[in-house]
Structure 1
Amino acid sequence: MTFSLSTHASANRLIDSSSPYLLQHAHNPVDWYPWGEEAFAKARKENKPILLSIGYSTCYWCHVMEREIFENPEIAKLMNESIVSIKIDREQRPDVDDLYMTATQMMTHSGGWPNNVFVTPDLKPFYAGTYFPPAAFSSLIQQIHYIWMQDQVPLKAQAERLASAIIRIKQQENNAQSSSLPGSRLVEALISHFSDYYDNRLGGFYQAPKFPNEDALLFLLEAYRLTSNNTCLEMARGTLEKMAEGGIHDHVGGGFHRYATDAQWRIPHFEKMLYNQALLGRAYTELYALSNKPDDRVVAEGIFDFTLRQMTHKDGGFYSALDAETDAVEGAYYAWTDAELQDALDTDSYAWLMKHYGLAEIPKIPGHKHVDGRVLYLIQPLSESATAEGLSYEDAVKKQQAVMTSLRESRDKRKLPHLDNKIITSWNGLMIDAFARAGLCMRKLEYTEASRRAADFILANLRKQDGSLYRTWRDGQAEISAYFEDYAFMIQGLVSIYRAAKDNRYLQAAKELAAKAKQLFWDEKHGGYYFTDGSELLLVRMKNAVDSAIPSGNAVMAQALLDLYEITGDAEWKQQAEALLIAFGQAITENPRAYTHMVHALLRLNHVAPAAKAAQQPDEAVTLREAMVTKTYVKVGASAPKREGNSLTVTAVLDIAQGWHVNANPASFDFLISTSVDVREDSGKAEVEPAYPDARAMTTPLGDINVYEGKVSIPVKVTLPGNAENLRLLVRAQACKDATCLAPSDWIVPVKLK
């Protein structure tokens, strides 16, 4: 995606922004405003509802919606006459994004970007959705305008109810402290959770689409290091090795894409985010430290070398992301046709590539441009193929590097996807931490130096005179006061540099930022750090301790405080970490998976005292959460297995509440989650063949979709190895009603073998 930085007669107010995402929309015919009082005042003065359209510059569906809707003059005219339109970069304003994503999840029971939320002039939400087709969006604008002009009372009443519920939900986490530290049983409970969901055959923990789940990997690696639990190591290693083989791993250029759309990790969603490089770089470094396997080191080095080559500012800071698409074609930069491979390689190299790598087909998305070409994936780890061929690992690596260098030189001639070149303090903190750890572990001074240069860049360009931080920097301009996660991630990064380089400047900077963070964000009454400093009034001041694609700031801070304690021996740092874990003790106890990085800190703290069992009082916020889950409307069971020799058939039975449906397999749109079943056993060698039933066609505002309703049976034929144990049926489904879909649910049903 390209955009112009020059002023233009048709430019709107976004042209003065430093955000690449806002600049992408600066020449839309929509009369966009940035988030701020000017837009709010206009809405109040003209008595118009507001559209908050939230996304980020490398978001594929954000680009689609811009091309289909926001560049359409007729739709833009409708928007300009009926509403006040505000465009928001979620990476610059994660506080606004989190607040209104909660609203979207409450109203639609799903979420994603672009996130489009309609709010009253006082910023209370009354309607929301993610991607809309053009006709549906035009109709929606007209309906909202009509209702707003006829009778605003029902909309405002709904907005008040939603705002009150959001406040209750956020305050529930804000006040989730316990009277003592959570017990160590939570560590075992979390390990058990990952064991139940682990895919022995393909790695990963949940069904496709498959995300790296770096919080899980780092926790499991730490659990093995501290407790010698081999199951933890096998889950982490199995996942990381399968990811390294798959197309989610950029074998030509290094680094990883954001997630895989298939169970085998072969077809990625092609965005490359800095935070994924940081967290996976750390994970592969820690795996290498435990395994000493050269394959693990090569993957880690590939991540760091890619980051230095393509995502690093000349003065040391790290850029945010690379887009998934080129000229509206997702994956165009990364896919290869056979003719392109033969053109880039000599005959011997091409033959070597075809022997060691496969090419995965990229599924077509109806109505979207399809890329010519397929995605490279490794057939087996290089160390294994080298042994089988009687080669030294060094010779195999030399050949692989020569082939991949030739392919990269050829690929470098292609148009590069859009680079989001803003520098985010928190994401830089993650990358600084990863580089410092890798430099220490691998004894590579260039990695340690990369961490130092980036830290120096942040401290020189994004630190104010009073010692506080800015959130972002781009083209010489730092702006937006930092959030708590920016401090926490930078503190962790600075401490890791100190461990690697033994330079007291970085330890002192970490201590100073810890003191500033406590001054700006600490909740003196209930404990824990708020996400914002409270200088701008939103609906509610949040703490946000739940992990997302990145660890929560509170969890990273708990780890950084333990680092400071280990380094200095000052018990005050440990006491602060304990106070932080107690502040979220009740929440961690109720849902350890949502707080994986917190449980990771608890594991490090090695505190075994039992937690006070807080009495849980049901309230409207709890009821709202339950109502958002598919399990409330879909019950799952399994028939007794029918065995024939070394195979058996077990049938998953879904009982779907009246008026609801689940998406068929395959789902009709890629943003819907298909119903899927799988069978797992401990050896990971079972072969599974589900037979999905015929679906019913249903007409919805999204278009015609295929669904299952009522009672649905899905037989699964399983071919078992001779030593099969702990057989279990895994089911995933997403319940929907009309065009509203809930968060998907997963079930694990034990299958008893007679």
Structure 2
Amino acid sequence: MGSERLRHRVLLAVSAVLLCTVLSLSCGRGEIELPEPEIIEGAEMRFSPGANRASLIDWEPWGRQAFERAGRQERPVVLVMTALPIREARQFDETTLSDSLIIERLNRECVPIRVDIERHPEVKRLVWSGALVPKEGEPGIVSIHASGQLIQAAGFLDPPGTEEFLDYAVETNMFYERWPEGPGQAPVIAWEQPLIMRRRVQTRELSNDLVDRVAASLRSALSGPGGGPGQDGKVRDPSAISLLLYLGHTRGEESLAVLASDALVSVREAGYWDEVEGGVSGPGGKNLAINADLALSYLEAWEATGKEDHPRAARDILRFLLTVLYDENIDAFRAGQLGDEAYFALDRAGRSEAGAAPPVDGTLYTDRNARMVSLGLKAGLVLQNETWTERALGLLDDLWDRAVGEDGRVYHVFDIERGAGSAPGLVADGMWLARALLDAYAYTGVPRYLLRARQLVDRALEEQWQETADVFVAHSGESWPPAAALVNNPSFDANLVGALVLLRLNWCTEEPMYRDVARRILTRWSGDWGRFGDRAGAYGLALQRYLDYPVRMMIIGSPEEAQTRALLRESLRLYEPGKHVQLLDPKSEREEVEARGFPTDMDPAIFVCVGRACSAPILDAEEVAASVSSFVEQMGRE
């Protein structure tokens, strides 16, 4: 296995330049040489790459021990939430946290905790979701009593502002017992067992009317004052794009597909697009997840509309991902390139003269690389390049080997070379990885991908599903040593990815339990989706997939036969949004084939199923598109 993996990596490294050529990507640095970005390796405690003295502070990691120390020493906990891509966070290191007085006071009067919120999003959720901060905004510094109760929260302050912040934290901590809202109130951080914060919202009936309401909200969000496409260039949630394209196709509402397409065009026309090196940037830099999701949306929009601008945009993003974020030595993608608006505004000559590109965050995140698996599979299919497919499947195998621990928990951060990981137990990582595994199963028909997806989801159902709340909690109680059981505010995004994964597992296995859990998630958020902006598209998409049983394309045949592979390839290439493609081998999966009611003693064939009705077998790959279209039109959609 090890020698095969090594051979695979060597072949991919050798083919990287060929890949750029085949995809018409300019992966070289061009006639004018561009500066190579510095790689900032992943670590638990990282500071701004700019000059600073923040490391002189006696930082503690997040956990019970820091709070116990605060109790013994009768000091407040001061939590600094930071992340390399956040420009204000880097400036906070270089100014306030380099100030001699601030350093001295934090070390003498407080218990300072430093948390990288990208590495540990469970703390970001705890604080930013409202469990800790009773106001809107994204605080950078928070003071907490040793009991776990909030004292104060603020943004990234200047030195005088931070002095006032510390004055209040220290004084309030001294008189904690006299607080009107003090010890009698439940702490916001509990260490003995996970709690769950539930918003009491009215649930609604799961219906197409609810889908229409989500679509209407997206139409409003993506439209300008005159009703035309918005031109703000905001990177749209990929699920919102998928929902609009799906409804445009299945309902014949072309205006919805045009709206989705125009929203993607507006991204290229706004100032966020990097015309020199490809990809989209913002104040937080050029994030791997955002660019991977956006490229996937461009490829899907091309399938739906045929608009040639979309594959060009996808290729530009792929060029950036391959040349800047991809590490060919470990066959994985780095977290992103740090933000530098002045640099990204320069042309090629200007960047060459600048002499230094923004650094790259070298952290390897499981959820972001799982997104790259899904993108790589789609790019390999739509752009007709098998190297992307091979790269995606190789990355997926590495993720399974390195990001999934021996106990089955998925690490948020992994290291392929050292086999290390951190922050296990986040439900989002498991669901994104399960989605990638199901994509690989659909593209290859290899059963192990389905088995692994089931393993991840079944574990999440066992450990992270809250029966009384109908949600997956954000993480397991032991997700971050030393076994801190934080308040679990359920993640909207992770639960909706989970609902889509559960529905796909139901289609693959015909196990009703998966569909029932998806229904409960959708009911839980049925009255609460509106506050998430265009991210509500994930809710609408999952609901539509729940209500509309997909067009199923069941390929029965040995994957080793050329005819089977041709039928699978044509099934995948056919644009039928929401379709379910599944290959079953009549030899090794005979019982499953017979249980589904398909023959086991004929040449490879496709059976197209709508509802409970299935077509006659399709034996010729060249007839797949016409036969599927005819049968779906004949049967209608359920």
Q: Distance in 1 between matches of 2:194 and 2:477?
A: 18
CA displacement at 1:568 relative to structure 2: 4.4
Q: Distance in 2 between matches of 1:433 and 1:596?
A: 19
1:419 counterpart (349, 353, 360): 360
CA deviation profile, 1:358-387 (whole Å, cap 9, x unmatched) = xxxxxxxxxxxxxxx7xxxxxxxxxxxxxx
Number of the residue aligned with 2:292 = 278
Do the aligned partners of residues 254 and 567 (structure 1) sit closer, same or farther apart at CA in structure 2, a change above 3 Å counting? farther
Number of the residue aligned with 2:620 = none
CA deviation profile, 1:243-272 (whole Å, cap 9, x unmatched) = 1233311111111114xxxxxxxxxx3601
CA deviation profile, 1:460-498 (whole Å, cap 9, x unmatched) = 111122322222124622122130011111111111122
1:171 and 2:197 equivalent?
A: yes
Q: Secondary structure at the match of 1:34?
A: coil
1:448 and 2:397 equivalent?
A: no
Number of the residue aligned with 1:511 = 454
Please tell me the residue identity of whatever aligns with 1:172.
R
Number of the residue aligned with 1:487 = 430
CA displacement at 1:592 relative to structure 2: 8.5
Q: Distance in 1 between matches of 2:287 and 2:358?
A: 13
Please tell me the residue identity of whatever aligns with 2:431.
A
Q: Distance in 1 between matches of 2:268 and 2:446?
A: 34
1:124 and 2:169 equivalent?
A: no
TM-score w.r.t. length of structure 1: 0.61
1:321 and 2:331 equivalent?
A: no
The correspondence of residues 78-227 of structure 1 with structure 2, limited to 5 A, is 78-103=105-130, 106-107=133-134, 109-112=135-138, 115-149=140-174, 151-155=175-179, 157=181, 163=187, 171-173=197-199, 182-200=206-224, 210-227=234-251
Q: Secondary structure at the match of 1:86?
A: strand
Alpha carbons 1:65, 1:131 under 8 Å: kept = yes
The correspondence of residues 262-661 of structure 1 with structure 2, limited to 5 A, is 269=283, 271-313=285-327, 314-324=329-339, 330-336=340-346, 344=349, 410=352, 414-474=355-415, 476=418, 477-535=420-478, 536-545=483-492, 552-588=493-529, 595-606=536-547
Alpha carbons 2:76, 2:110 under 8 Å: kept = yes
The correspondence of residues 40-51 of structure 1 with structure 2, limited to 5 A, is 40-51=67-78
Number of the residue aligned with 1:627 = none
Q: Secondary structure at the match of 1:465?
A: coil
Alpha carbons 1:51, 1:118 under 8 Å: kept = yes
1:253 counterpart (277, 283, 296): 277
Alpha carbons 1:285, 1:300 under 8 Å: kept = yes
Do the aligned partners of residues 40 and 440 (structure 1) sit closer, same or farther apart at CA in structure 2, a change above 3 Å counting? same
1:55 counterpart (77, 82, 93): 82
Q: Distance in 2 between matches of 1:528 and 1:128?
A: 28
Q: Secondary structure at the match of 2:487?
A: coil
CA deviation profile, 1:3-47 (whole Å, cap 9, x unmatched) = 998xxxxxxxxxx95454599988532221111233222211110
Q: Secondary structure at the match of 2:396?
A: helix
Q: Distance in 1 between matches of 2:48 and 2:450?
A: 37
CA displacement at 1:60 relative to structure 2: 0.4
CA displacement at 1:436 relative to structure 2: 1.6
Q: Distance in 1 between matches of 2:227 and 2:116?
A: 33
Name stretches of at least 5 consecutive residues in structure 1 with no aligned partner. Answer: 6-15, 259-268, 325-329, 345-372, 374-406, 546-551, 609-754
Q: Distance in 2 between matches of 1:590 and 1:541?
A: 19
Number of the residue aligned with 1:731 = none
The alignment covers a number of residue pairs equal to 503
Do the aligned partners of residues 241 and 589 (structure 1) sit closer, same or farther apart at CA in structure 2, a change above 3 Å counting? closer
Q: Which of 478-487 and 242-251 deviates more?
A: 242-251
Q: Distance in 2 between matches of 1:542 and 1:436?
A: 33
Q: Secondary structure at the match of 2:346?
A: coil
Alpha carbons 1:282, 1:434 under 8 Å: kept = yes
Please tell me the residue identity of whatever aligns with 1:333.
Y
Q: Secondary structure at the match of 2:220?
A: helix
Do the aligned partners of residues 23 and 455 (structure 1) sit closer, same or farther apart at CA in structure 2, a change above 3 Å counting? farther
Considering Cα pairs closer than 8 Å and 6+ residues apart, tell me whether 1 or 2 has the greater RCO: 2
Please tell me the residue identity of whatever aligns with 1:223.
L
Q: Distance in 1 between matches of 2:529 and 2:38?
A: 43
Q: Distance in 2 between matches of 1:21 and 1:204?
A: 44
CA displacement at 1:64 relative to structure 2: 1.0
Number of the residue aligned with 1:73 = 100
Which one has the bigger strand percentage?
1
CA displacement at 1:202 relative to structure 2: 11
CA deviation profile, 1:333-357 (whole Å, cap 9, x unmatched) = 32327xxx6xx4xxxxxxxxxxxxx
Do the aligned partners of residues 445 and 35 (structure 1) sit closer, same or farther apart at CA in structure 2, a change above 3 Å counting? same
Q: Distance in 1 between matches of 2:527 and 2:496?
A: 15
CA displacement at 1:604 relative to structure 2: 1.6
CA displacement at 1:289 relative to structure 2: 0.7
Q: Distance in 2 between matches of 1:23 and 1:38?
A: 29
Which one has the bigger helix percentage?
2
Number of the residue aligned with 1:664 = none
Alpha carbons 1:203, 1:239 under 8 Å: kept = no
Q: Distance in 1 between matches of 2:231 and 2:312?
A: 27
Do the aligned partners of residues 414 and 59 (structure 1) sit closer, same or farther apart at CA in structure 2, a change above 3 Å counting? same
Q: Distance in 2 between matches of 1:526 and 1:139?
A: 40
Please tell me the residue identity of whatever aligns with 1:136.
G
Q: Secondary structure at the match of 1:479?
A: strand
Q: Distance in 1 between matches of 2:186 and 2:263?
A: 40
Q: Distance in 1 between matches of 2:78 and 2:335?
A: 26
Q: Secondary structure at the match of 1:43?
A: helix
Please tell me the residue identity of whatever aligns with 1:135.
P
Alpha carbons 2:48, 2:90 under 8 Å: kept = no
Name stretches of at least 5 consecutive residues in structure 2 with no aligned partner. Answer: 1-36, 550-638
Q: Secondary structure at the match of 2:475?
A: coil
Q: Secondary structure at the match of 1:131?
A: coil
Q: Distance in 2 between matches of 1:105 and 1:44?
A: 19
Alpha carbons 2:194, 2:487 under 8 Å: kept = no
Please tell me the residue identity of whatever aligns with 1:96.
V
Q: Secondary structure at the match of 1:283?
A: helix
Q: Secondary structure at the match of 2:56?
A: coil
Q: CA RMSD in A?
A: 3.5
Q: Secondary structure at the match of 2:392?
A: helix
Q: Which of 40-49 and 509-518 deviates more?
A: 509-518
Do the aligned partners of residues 195 and 28 (structure 1) sit closer, same or farther apart at CA in structure 2, a change above 3 Å counting? same
Please tell me the residue identity of whatever aligns with 2:445.
K
Q: Which of 140-149 and 157-166 deviates more?
A: 157-166
CA displacement at 1:561 relative to structure 2: 2.2
